[in-house]
Each structure stands twice: as C-alpha cells, then as structure tokens.
Structure 1
Amino acid sequence: MSTTDERLRVEYVTDPAAAMSRLASADRFGEYVMYERPGEWVFAADPIGSVELDVHELRVTWEGRTTTSEWEGTPASVLDTSLGTLPLEGRNAYGWINFEFCAWALDATAHLDPRANLAHLMIPRIEVRVGASGVVISGAGPDEVEDIHDLIAASRDSALPKPEPADIRVDPTGYRDRVTTAVEEIRSGLYQKVILSRKVDLPFVVDIPATYRLGRAHNTPARSFLLRLGGLEAAGYSPELVASVDDDRVVTTEPLAGTRAFGLGVEIDTAARADLVRDPKEIVEHAISVQTSFAEITSVADPGTPAVSDFMAVRERGSVQHLASTVRGTLAAGRSSWDALEVLFPSVTASGIPKREGVDSVFRLDGAPRGLYSGAVVTISPTGALDAALVLRAVYQTTEGAWLRAGAGIVGQSRPEREFEETCEKLGSIAPYVVKA
C-alpha cells in the first residue's frame, strides 16, 4: 500500500491475535480480511473496490460503481486482468478463492452449480499491520487512527472466550462408505489418491472473531486468517501454503500429507511421530504429493531451479502432526504469480493424484460443493507478489448456518475407519475452540 498516509506508533502488542479479533468484532470497518504470515498480522478493511467471479459472471466494483459482464478464459487470468484495470495506486488486494475455481484448469466444469461463487477479492481503504516494528495504520483518518489504537489497547490482558462443545463424530454424510468407494476406484486404476471430506454442521450461531482468537492460542499454523467478505465469515489456521511468489519471483509450495494426532502428551506424541515416519501408507501418500508439486512448479519455473527441501520433515499443526516438504523454483520469464497459483491450485494435498482425476472424484464423492474448504485465502501486492494459504482447520458461517469440514487422503491401502479417525483428529484443531455468539 502507498506509504504517503501511513501512521506508525511503536508499541508492543503482546497478543496480536487478540488485537485482530478486537478490530474484527468492533464491527465499524465494514468487510475485512485479516491475514497472518510469519512476523506480521494485517487487518485490511472497508473495501473501496472488489473483483467477484461466479461461474458465469464477473463483477468489478470501484468506489461504488459496479460493472457486470460475462467472462471467458480461465478464472486466474480473469482475476489478474481485472485487478490490472483498477487504479490501485500501490494498494494490496485480499480475498478468498473457492475450491470450485479449479474446474476450468482441470476440465471439471460439468460438475459446477451455475450459481457457484469462485472468488472474491477486495481492495481495502484501511490496513492495520502489527509486527516487530509496532503498529502501522494506512488509509485511516485521524479519529479512526485513535479508535484503532484504543481497540488494540483494550485487547491487552483480556480473558480468552469460552468455547461451546461440538460433536464432531456425528456423520450423516456416510463418510466411511464414500472412502470404501474411493479405495475400490483407486485399486481399479482410476487414480492414485483422493482427499475426501465431510461436513459437520454446528447447531448455533458462531462468534467468528472470538473463535479465531481462542483457536489461535492453541494452534501453530503456517498462516492464519479471519474474514467477513461476500456474505461469508470464516476463521482458520492454515497448515500449509498453496502457493507463494515473492518479490524475487521465487515460487514456493509446502505439501503436507501423512497425519497423526498431536498434543496428547510427550510419550504418546513421540510414539505417534515414530509410527508416522515409518508407516508405508503415509510415506507413499506424501511422496506422490511431493512428486506432483515438483512437476507443477517445474511447469512454470526456469529450468534447473525447482528443488525439494526438508523432505519428509514432521511439522506440528495444532492437534495433528504431518509429514511435510518444501518445493521451490524461480518463476520463468513471461509467467505471472497467477500462472503459478493456477497450476498449483487446488493443493495436491487437498484434491488428489493425478489432480484431474482426483478432482473429478471429489466432485462425485464429496457430495455438496466444498466452497472455501480446501480453497485459499490470498493476498496480492502491487509488485505481483502473492501469498495463498490453504483453507483447512477452519470454521465457516453464512446466513444459512455455521459448519466445520475436514478430510483425509485416500490411497489404495486406506482403511475407512482410520480415515474417519483422521478427520476427527483434524477437526480437533478447531472444534474445541468454537465460541457461540
């Protein structure tokens, strides 16, 4: 964002999650997206412009005027071009991308509801950044600046909210039977792996900002987010990147595959870790995910630059621990950040292998549309840098209700009961911290 109106106050923010939650719950800044990356938290609010993409319609808004049109091409190219038409003047963009965004690249549009939302990006008037340098506020008037600092100050030493228990073992979706079907398809040679998920409806209205704060105190995410945008509220603790492209054009993705519970005590956690790193099913699942991610980055990177690091490291993410690797390459000349996102989206660890057949299986066997689950929350800078967090371990809410969702990677060796338990382990990163409104 342009620095001409930035106001810096160096103050030590002891609990950035509490500060972000307080800003969101104040309900005085309109729609917002809060995004945490290592070392920085940003609260972006009060959109002055937006780009919304549905299956058949593109809506571009700037300062209250909306232009509506049909579109053609791929969703990624349409978003890239649409942002380029706006007088951003150095501003960043923030928003969400639904799982169904992938259907064009993977030849799966026949599965889509014609009314489905694909993406919603917004350009904020106000940004509040909290990091090592203090609090930096951009775009706000003098009175708003003081209000923001007062809200941050009021968040200090405030008590954590109390959660409302949610029953995560109820399963009206027939998850085990769907896993059985997928295993049969895999063994018949249709594909190698698919991630099947299940939805858990919540029987009450959720306080999303309070849930974010409580859950963040118990999670160790790669990224986290909190948003209210386009009729959707959500908060989550992303375990991995779908894609990141920095100012040096380095593309990064972080496939996680292979899961065991975590947080049950040192002895139990250590035993689970040992079991994870020697389980053939988990090793195979992870290795083919890394292989696919490497091939995807290779398709948009300079020859010789793609590389894998931290292969099969174990990373702890809230209530679970995963096998993890990092894949990087340098974006080739003529390729954009959106090209990288298009080839890496959806994350291989949330779709399947081969990705086209895996996504087809997801649409057939998951039943209802996924929406934001296994999609991405994104930030886009004026330089073309992009950061896209995989949306898992999250709570979602619209006027129709609130829900959780979790999945597991299904391969030929999968057992339905074990995969169901894995969804419960993953739901354990968010379900115990849901706060009733």
Structure 2
Amino acid sequence: MPSHPDIGATSGVGWLLSTPRLTLTSPGGDALPVQAGAGQFTALAEAAESALRQSPAGTAVVGALPFDEAAPAHLWLTRMEHHRHSPAERAAFVGSLSYAEAVPDGHEPNAWHSAWLTTPKPEPQPSAYRAAVRAVLAEIEAGTISKAVLARSLYAPLNAVGNAADQRALVPALITALARRETAARLFAVTLPTTGLHGPPPMLLGATPETLLRRTGDLLTLRPLAGTAARHQDPVVDHARAMALLRSGKDQAEHRHVVDDLGRRLRPWCQSLDIPARPRLHATGRLWHLTTPIHARLRHPAPSALTLACALHPTPAVCGTPTPAAAALIRTLEAVPRRYFSGLVGWMDKTGDGHWVISLRCGELDADGLRLHAGAGIVRASRPESELAETEAKFATMLAALEDARRSTRRARPTAAAALAARRTGGIR
C-alpha cells in the first residue's frame, strides 16, 4: 500500500478522513452497487463484507452514507493512503492535496474571489423553524415521540461567473480553514454521486466533533454527543457556560435519550459494555457538548464496523427516539432533505475494523453553490428561540471557515516539492 502518494496527482482525492495525527485518503475505486430505499444499509454492509472477502490484501471500503435510506449511499473498494503528520502540520498538509476534479496547475487556490458565494439564505426562515420546533413539542406532549432532532439549512449560491476550477479551488481553502480552527475535529471530504448538474460532482466536506464508532478487533469505542452550548472568548464566561451545560436538566435529558438507546441496541452484540453514569464535556473551537465515552468488547464472531454502523445509524443524537416516529416527523417538518448531512463518513478494512464519523459541521458543494445544515435536539424542556440559537451556533463553524477562506491572500498552493521537503525533515512521514 502506498503511504506517500504524489501530491497533486491528476486523479485527485475523492475521499479524506483526517485526525490530528493521521490523514487517510483515496482517489476513488470500484463503487459498490447500491439501491436507495428500505433495507439499503443492511444490504450495503453485506455487500461490503462480501466484496472485501474477494479482494486482495490491503483493500478497504470507504465513502459516505446518507442520513436515511431515501438517498443512495456512496461506497467504493480502494486502497487507502496513509499520511502521518503532527497536529500543527495538518492544516498545511490537507490544503496541499489536490481533490477530485483537481484544480488545474497554475490556478491559485484562493483565486476564486470572482466566484465567491453570495449571502447565505436560510431554509426555512427563522420564524418557520420556530414553528416547526413547536410542532415537535406538540408531538412530544402527545406522547408520539420523546425527542426529535430538527435541522435547518443555509444556501449560498455561487456567482454566475464561477466555473469548475473556481469551485474546486474552494475545497482546499475550506479544508485548510477548518483544520486551523477545529484542531481536534475529524476532517472529511467525499466526492458524491453526480446529481445531473453541470460541472463536477458534488462534494461533502466538514469538520465533525463526533465519532459514531471505531472497531479494532473485538474492541469497540463510541463517542456520542448530545447537549450543546456556545463557547465564549472570555475564559470566565466560557467556563461558566460549560458548567451550566453540565448542570442543565434539559441537556442531560437530551443526552440520556442517546446513551440509553445506544446501550439498548449494542447489548446483543457485546460480551461487556461500559457506559459511564454521567456525561463529560467535549470542547470544539466554538461549542461545548456533552459526551459519554462508551467502551465495549464484542461477542465472537465480532460484527464488522460497517454492520455495527448501519445497525446504529441514525442514532437519537441526529434523529430522535423512537427512531421511526422521529424520522417520519423530520421528513414532514424539514424544508430541505438532509442527504448526507448527519450521515456517516468512514472506512472498513478486510478484517472488519473501521472508523465511522457522523457528518456534522459540514456543507455540500456543487457547481451552483454551497448548502450548510445544522440541527438541534428537541425534548420536552426545549424552547423554540433557544433551539434556533443552537443551530446558529453550529452554523458558525462552517461560516467562519468560509470567511477565513475569503479573506485569505492570493498565494501559491503548497507544491508537491514543498510537501516532500517537509517529509524529509520529519513533518510528514
């Protein structure tokens, strides 16, 4: 397996998943046949396991799953390329890569100002979102559901003068900005199936704080998040907000829905399961979250990472509970289909090991513009204005990265030679 592919290869990076010290990439591969609709996720896990059994050593499945089975998953067989780096070097490295539909040589990554996105427009308007929250609260009061995660979106069209090169130049600029701002996040970028639009295929990219699961042999770890508070630049205020989140009955209840549901679904697969009684704090660049680290030892034979991911997805952290009723309500109330927002991005190898993250703090970019999504968990104690404010705080991650990219100066993209020189000095190994 190549560990240091040439930066700027003409195929480009079609899939990327990056932790602070390791970036995994794939240029593409043989797509697994999928059919959207009920049963897609189970069939997909079976197809992936079968394809890997028949593949040579070093093969993996990578890609993205949508929020629900109404949209097609996009997974392919490939050989992942491993790039090791320090946390301080990650931003420069991911920004130096050429992504699928690569920017032509000589086109500077920030020379897309003429194609800059116009002002993002809310979908729906804030008043309509507050009304939708009230509709969810009515269902909770009626006993139909206990929790639903309600999302809204922002859409920023590209100016008409933009072209494919301008669009693709956005990708490394945004990934770089996200890496600099969200130093602990899992960065991801996935080229998606074409939707029939002109220009290059869509790309999903973002910086998620949440790992659904990681399987290593018979060991399984999960890091569910639920319960959110905006951070503050003043350390005293920031600490007070964190402590208030830990004490919040509303946020504790929202988080407990997630943890209890995951425990119920996991127990049949596990010989041991460790779920702490109370959550702890998880910090991102702009938000505090409640998180509960879950550790399990799987029964033999251990189910694959993708089988487990498909069995758990979507969790109450992104959908609600009971899942079928919450999902039906989401389809009725949300103005725009989520597609791959709050879906999964990840990989699985021939042994069944893998890592799957939830696609949050992200956007979907196509030749016409960029759409961002953000959601909030609605429980009995929720208030419409507070839930709207939570989505605004979550949008801020991508909006700040966009602003960073827009303000960045016109400078040459890091070259392959520069990256190789960094490797020789121990920067990228």
TM-score, normalised by the number of residues in structure 1: 0.75
Residue 164 of structure 1, CA deviation:
6.7
Instruction: Note if 1:233 corresponds to 2:203.
Output: yes
Q: Which residue of 1 aligns with 2:411?
A: none
Whether the aligned pair in 1 keeps the contact of 2:17 and 2:23 (CA below 8 Å) is yes
Equivalent of residue 269 in structure 1, options 230, 238, 259 = 238
Query: What do you get for the CA RMSD once the two structures are aligned?
Result: 3.4
Q: Deviations over 1:110-136 (max 9, x none)?
A: xx4xxx32x11123357242246xx9x
Q: In the alignment, which residue of structure 2 is the partner of 1:252?
A: 221
Question: Structure 1 residues 73 and 394, CA, compared in 2 at 3 Å: closer, same or farther?
Answer: closer
Distance across 1 between alignment mates of 2:266 and 2:391: 29
Q: What amino acid sits opposite 1:412 in the alignment?
A: R
2:146 partner amino acid: Q
Deviation at 1:369, TM superposition (A): 2.1
1:40 aligns with one of 7, 18, 22? 22
> Any stretches of 5+ residues in structure 1 without a counterpart?
10-18, 58-70, 102-111, 136-146
**Aligned with 2:351 (options 370, 383, 401):** 383
Q: Distance in 2 between matches of 1:35 and 1:406?
A: 20
Q: Contact 1:259/1:321 (CA < 8 Å) preserved in 2?
A: yes
Cα distance 1:362–1:72, how it changes in 2: closer, same or farther (>3 A)?
closer
Give the AA of the match of 2:225.
Answer: L
Q: Secondary structure at the match of 1:123?
A: strand
Partner of 2:144: 190
- 2:173 equivalent to 1:210: yes
Give the alignment partner of residue 295 of structure 1, picking from 259, 264, 277: 264
Separation (CA, whole Å) in 2 of partners of 1:291 and 1:169 = 33
Deviation at 1:238, TM superposition (A): 1.1
Q: Is the 8 A contact 2:123 2:336 kept in 1?
A: no
Could you say which structure has the higher strand fraction?
Answer: 1
How far off its partner does 1:420 sit? 0.2
Contact 1:209–1:235 (CA under 8 A) maintained in structure 2: no
Cα deviation code 1:74-96 (max 9, x no counterpart): 33444334523652432222100
TM-score, normalisation: structure 2: 0.77
Secondary structure in 2 aligned to 1:210? Answer: helix
Aligned residue type for 1:268: V
Matching residue within 129, 134, 159 for 1:175: 129
1:59-208 to 2 correspondence within 5 Å? 74-84=42-52, 86-101=54-69, 112=70, 116-117=71-72, 119-124=73-78, 127-131=81-85, 167=120, 171-172=124-125, 174-204=128-158, 207-208=170-171
2:371 is the alignment partner of 1:403: yes
Instruction: Report the alpha carbon displacement of residue 400 of structure 1 after superposing the two structures with TM.
Output: 4.6
Q: Match for residue 53 of structure 1?
A: 34
Deviations 1:350-385 (A, max 9, x none): 010222222222222224321110001011112110
Question: 1:333 is matched with which residue?
Answer: 300
CA contact (8 A) 2:22 2:83 kept: yes
In structure 2, relative to structure 1, the CA distance for the partners of 1:29 and 1:125 (3 Å cut) is: farther
What CA distance in whole angstroms lies between the structure 2 residues aligned with 1:126 and 1:376?
17
Q: Deviations over 1:135-161 (max 9, x none)?
A: 9xxxxxxxxxxx99xx9xx9xxx9999
Instruction: Report the Cα distance in structure 2 between the residues aligned to 1:279 and 1:398, rounded to whole angstroms.
Output: 39
Structure 2: distance between partners of 1:48 and 1:203? 30
Q: Is residue 316 of structure 1 aligned with residue 259 of structure 2?
A: no
Query: CA separation in 2, counterparts of 1:222 and 1:295?
Result: 28
Distance 1:363 1:56, change over 3 A: closer
Larger relative helix fraction: 2
- Are the counterparts in 1 of residues 226 and 254 from structure 2 also a CA contact under 8 Å? yes
- Partner SS, residue 295 of structure 1: helix
CA contact (8 A) 1:221 1:237 kept: no
Q: Are the equivalent residues in 2 in contact too, given 1:260–1:273 (CA < 8 A)?
A: yes
Q: Is the 8 A contact 2:32 2:74 kept in 1?
A: yes
Q: Provide the rounded CA distance (Å) in 2 between the counterparts of 1:370 and 1:72.
A: 17
Residue by residue, what CA displacement relative to the aligned partner does 1:191-210 show, whole Å, maximum 9, x if unpaired?
11010000110122751221
Distance 1:7 1:198, change over 3 A: closer
Classify the secondary structure of the residue corresponding to 1:191: coil
Q: Do 1:197 and 1:366's aligned partners in 2 also have CA atoms closer than 8 Å?
A: yes
Secondary structure of the structure 1 residue equivalent to 2:145 = coil
Count of residue pairs brought into register by the alignment: 369
8 Å contact kept, 1:378–1:387: yes
Residue 349 of structure 1 aligns to a residue whose secondary structure is: coil
Deviation at 1:214, TM superposition (A): 0.6
SS in 1 for 2:255: helix
Cα distance in structure 2, aligned partners of 1:121 and 1:210: 25
- Offset, 1:309: 3.9
8 Å Cα contact 1:393/1:429 also seen in 2:
yes
**Equivalent in the alignment of 2:387:** 419
Between the aligned partners of 1:27 and 1:347, the Cα distance in structure 2 is: 37
2:124 and 2:357 map into 1 onto residues whose CA distance is 27
Structure 2, gaps ≥5 residues long: 90-97, 160-166, 195-201, 409-429
**How far apart in 1 are the matches of 2:234 and 2:228?**
17
C-alpha contact (below 8 Å) 1:296/1:344 kept by paired residues: yes
Are 1:249 and 1:331, in contact at CA under 8 Å, matched by a contact in 2? yes
Give the match's secondary structure for 2:135.
Answer: helix
- Which amino acid in structure 2 is aligned with residue 258 of structure 1? G
